Amino acid sequence: MALELVDKLGRRLTYVRISVTDRCNFRCRYCMPAQGVEWIPHDRIMRYEEIELLVGILTELGVKKIRLTGGEPFVRKGIPQFLRTLRRLFPELELAVTTNASLLANYIDNIKDLNINLNISLDTLDPDKFKDITRIGNLDDVLKGISMWSGLGLPFKINTVLIKGFNEDEIRPLAEFARKMGGVLRFIEFMPLDRSVWSQDSFIPASSIEDLIFSSGDWKELKNKTTDTDGPARYFVDLKTGQKIGVIAAVSHHFCETCNRLRITASGELKNCLFASGGVDLLSPLRTGDLDEVKHRILLASWDKPENWKKQISGDRHMSQIGG
Residue 10 lies in a domain: no
- Quick check: 135 pLDDT over 70? yes
Residues facing 221 on adjacent strands:
236
Question: What mean pLDDT value characterizes the chain?
Answer: 91
Q: Return the SS3 of 195.
A: coil
Residues in the chain: 324
Higher pLDDT pick, 31 / 156: 156
Tens digit of pLDDT for each residue in 145-200? 999 999 999 999 999 999 999 999 999 999 999 999 999 999 999 877 665 555 77
Residue 166 lies in a domain: yes
CATH of the domain at 179: 3.20.20.70
Residue 3 lies in a domain: no
Residue 4 lies in a domain: no
Residue 1 lies in a domain: no
Whether the Cβ atoms of residue 280 and residue 270 lie closer than 8 Å to each other: yes
CA-only gyration radius of the chain, Å: 19
The per-residue pLDDT for 317 is: 53
Domain count, the chain: 1
The C-alpha atoms of residue 104 and residue 145 are separated, in whole angstroms, by: 5
Whether the Cβ atoms of residue 280 and residue 16 lie closer than 8 Å to each other: no
| Strands lying side by side in the sheet with 244-248 | 219-222, 234-238, 244-248, 184-189, 156-162, 116-121, 94-99, 65-69, 15-19, 261-264, 269-271, 280-281
CA distances from 86 to 45, 74, 156 (A): 18, 15, 19
What element of type H or E holds 141? Answer: helix 139-151
Residue 6 lies in a domain: no
Strands 156-162 and 15-19: unpaired
Instruction: Name, in order, each residue with C-beta under 8 angstroms of 148's C-beta and a sequence gap of 6 or more.
Output: 104, 105, 108
Domain encompassing residue 295: 15-322
Residue 9 lies in a domain: no
- Confidence class for position 312, pLDDT limits 50, 70, 90: very low
Whether the Cβ atoms of residue 14 and residue 62 lie closer than 8 Å to each other: yes
Residue 5 lies in a domain: no
- Kindly report the pTM of this predicted structure: 0.92
- Confidence class for position 311, pLDDT limits 50, 70, 90: very low
Average pLDDT over residues 44-61: 99
Tens digit of pLDDT for each residue in 234-293? 999 999 989 999 999 888 877 788 999 999 999 999 999 988 888 999 999 999 999 999
The C-alpha atoms of residue 126 and residue 87 are separated, in whole angstroms, by: 36
* Amino acid making up residue 283: L
The C-alpha atoms of residue 92 and residue 254 are separated, in whole angstroms, by: 30
Average pLDDT over residues 40-60: 98
Burial class of 149 by CB neighbour count within 10 A (0 to 12, 13 to 18, 19+): buried
DSSP labels for 87-104?
HHH-TTSEEEEEE-STTG
